[in-house]
Structure 1
Amino acid sequence: MNAPRDKSFSASLEATLTDPAEAAVYIDAAMELDDPAALLVALRHVAKAHGMAEVARRADVGDKTLFKALSDKGNPTLETVNKVLHAVGLRLSVAPV
């Protein structure tokens, strides 16, 4: 018998990730893992927190394109990542190691 999933974590995470400062820290932590799949998951979580359709509209990217780019098998271009980040109020930056 499967127990119903507790949605509180997902709801709490999405609420937190609407704050640009929290989203930046979350994405930065995913980048520290040096794992492209982890970065995709983080970007997907942030985009979902802001509403995927709204992010696609702000990023001037098609809905299907955004869903595909941020899917488990996605391979977004740097341009798409940059557009998504800008759509949620973030930007890419580089820092010394």
Structure 2
Amino acid sequence: MTEADLDPAALEVCDFDPADYLGRESSQIHLLRDAAESGNAHYLATAIGAVARARGLSRLARETGIKRQTLNKSFGPQGNPTLETLMTVLPALGLEIDFRLKPPAQREELAEA
């Protein structure tokens, strides 16, 4: 490898959209679970956006009455969707939130913090 190979200006970069690789529902659910378990709100918003794009953002906009631009912004990398937006979008995607108690040891850790 030469120095020319390491020149950032010489690199070719292509657009990457994870939605292009989320054709199977099992892949979508795996991504959403990983994002939720990470505790990173921006990752979760972006993951929901990727699933929305994989399933059809225009259709989602029509079904929810939320503008496509608003969906893109809310569920983009810096997105911070409102609870109302989430409660509208998730059912339209055929998704629901499931609350579970953490194992007792993890709950004790939270109480001590």
One fold, TM greater than 0.5? yes
Structure-2 change in CA distance of 1:3 and 1:53 (3 Å): same
Q: How many residues align?
A: 93
The structure having more radius of gyration, on CA atoms, is 2
Residue type at the aligned position of 1:83: T
Structure-2 change in CA distance of 1:6 and 1:59 (3 Å): closer
For the 8 Å contact 2:42–2:77, the answer to whether it is kept is yes
The residue that corresponds to 1:84 in the other structure is 89
Where does structure 2 lack aligned partners over 5 or more consecutive residues?
Answer: 1-9, 103-113
Give the superposition deviation at 1:46.
Answer: 0.3
Provide the C-alpha distance between the structure 1 equivalents of 2:39 and 2:65, rounded to a whole number of angstroms: 28
The residue that corresponds to 1:70 in the other structure is 75
Where does structure 1 lack aligned partners over 5 or more consecutive residues?
Answer: none
So what's the TM-score if we normalise by structure 1? 0.77
Of stretches 41-50 and 67-76 in structure 1, the one that deviates more from structure 2 is 67-76
Once superposed, what is the RMSD of the aligned Cα atoms? 2.3
- Correspondence 1:44-55 to 2 at 5 A: 44-55=49-60
Provide the C-alpha distance between the structure 2 equivalents of 1:33 and 1:60, rounded to a whole number of angstroms: 30
Identity %: 28
Give the superposition deviation at 1:63.
Answer: 1.4
Q: How far does the alpha carbon of each residue in 1:49-82 deviate from its partner, in whole angstroms, 9 at most, with x for none? A: 0111111112221112111111222210111112
User: Of the two structures, which has the highest relative contact order with CA contacts closer than 8 Å and spacing of 6 or more?
Assistant: 1
